[in-house]
Structure 1
């Protein structure tokens, strides 16, 4: 059973903008009281007071050279603060979006998404998708509820240049009319037979990702679990990209073989 008394005490110690700033400065490297006082434009006495509290809590410790550095506990706590920070900064967004069927192991890493920007508006979302496709050299990986027709031709061009393409789609995906004719005309099926294009299916796609080797985009569903193309998070940040790539790999591993007959125009 969780000891909430101890947990609440830790939250109390972190309930200070100055102490949070100090912690994340010390993530980069150990520092002295006078150095941080100048950086944050506060008195040395104020920094010293906060240092003492964090030493007593076990977040930081004094080193032989009079610098202060993070303890193992302090460094681990910093990794968790990112999750609270991300959720706090996007509180309005998550008032009308949910996590759908996202596995708890990805929720525990939600702080990895902190360094990202929210793209709003269907037109801007689709343009960002295209940008990810156009800038791909090594691969394009998707987990989507649907694929707009104007992305297909972009994808074919990249694959013909050597880009690996893997796609996971929902069994109940919305398929636009003219899709089959476009696939045949563009040379899609020979690329599929050569396995330069690979596709699989999930029973339901709620959380969507689209990524190449350098950037990634992530879309959470609305509160009913339906995909929302009106907004998404986009980033080239390493942690954000790793989260999206791991999510794609997870979906690929649990997905089923692609079955064309399940899709309806």
Structure 2
């Protein structure tokens, strides 16, 4: 019961827009009370009161020189709060799509998608995926539970650039006919039968869509160029890639 009360108290502290704003500001740059109040356009009285609460919650601490700094605990809590904010902001999307099928370690990092943009127009997203593929300079990785997009022309177009490809799809979608020698040199296939996402990823940009609650994957999802978002998508793709079956 005592632990539950502490958790409820933490949620209460983070529910205040001014306290959360102060915590974020101190995370960006430590500062004295008046500096923090000025940057956030708060009164010194309000700032003092909120800093006291954050200090009592062990989220910040006051240094001997008067500067307030975020604690390691506060930094960790702030990192986790980004995931809750992201989920809440996109709650309608999450109510229609299954995220529980993702590996646990990626659910814990779901806030890393926050700098990507949710795109709901499926045809626009398909066109965007084809554009992302054409604009690759180093590599393009793609995978999912649905039939792959027709990116053959983009592969041919990118041959002079030496773009490398990794494709991860159910075995029924892997071509049975041999690829041309020049394409075979740059394309690597693996099969995976139960991938709950569609992914298109290059060194510049990524797009990802998720399974609907009924199991089918649609093309509504997140697109972005933010390095943190790209790293999350890349790590997820490699997770499934390592579990994939090498194409014979």
TM (norm. structure 2) is: 0.92
Correspondence for 2:181: 190
| Residue 247 of structure 1, aligned match among 230, 236, 243 | 236
CA contact (8 A) 1:118 1:233 kept: yes
Aligned residues: 247
CA contact (8 A) 2:156 2:183 kept: no
Q: 1:198 to 1:252 in 2, by over 3 A?
A: same
SS at match of 2:168: strand
SS at match of 2:217: coil
Cα distance in structure 2, aligned partners of 1:2 and 1:212: 48
Q: 1:101 to 1:191 in 2, by over 3 A?
A: farther
1:21-57 per-residue CA deviation (whole Å, 9 max, x = no partner) reads 1111112110222222222222110011000001111
Cα distance in structure 1, aligned partners of 2:155 and 2:32: 53
Q: Compute the displacement of 1:234 (Å).
A: 0.7
Aligned-residue Cα RMSD (Å) equals 2.1
Cα distance in structure 2, aligned partners of 1:205 and 1:21: 38
Q: 1:172 to 1:6 in 2, by over 3 A?
A: farther
Correspondence for 2:22: 22
Query: Which shifted more, 47-56 or 20-29?
Result: 20-29
* Correspondence 1:62 to 2:43: no
1:147-198 per-residue CA deviation (whole Å, 9 max, x = no partner) reads 122x22112322442011001012355x9xxx88xx87xxx4313543x110
Cα distance in structure 2, aligned partners of 1:138 and 1:5: 51
Cα distance in structure 2, aligned partners of 1:2 and 1:53: 19
Q: Compute the displacement of 1:102 (Å).
A: 1.2
Q: Compute the displacement of 1:100 (Å).
A: 5.7
Structure 2 spans left out of the alignment, 5+ residues: none
Map residues 34-53 of structure 1 onto 2, 5 A cutoff: 34-53=34-53
CA contact (8 A) 2:195 2:240 kept: no
Correspondence for 1:236: 225
Correspondence for 1:12: 12
CA contact (8 A) 2:22 2:40 kept: no
Correspondence for 2:142: 142
* Correspondence 1:217 to 2:207: yes
Q: Compute the displacement of 1:224 (Å).
A: 1.1
Query: Which shifted more, 118-127 or 69-78?
Result: 118-127
* Correspondence 1:123 to 2:112: no
Q: Compute the displacement of 1:142 (Å).
A: 0.9
Cα distance in structure 2, aligned partners of 1:19 and 1:61: 14
CA contact (8 A) 1:100 1:225 kept: no
TM (norm. structure 1) is: 0.86
Cα distance in structure 1, aligned partners of 2:130 and 2:165: 14
Map residues 134-173 of structure 1 onto 2, 5 A cutoff: 134-144=134-144, 145-149=146-150, 151-171=151-171, 173=173
Cα distance in structure 1, aligned partners of 2:48 and 2:181: 68
Cα distance in structure 2, aligned partners of 1:147 and 1:2: 52
* Correspondence 1:199 to 2:194: no
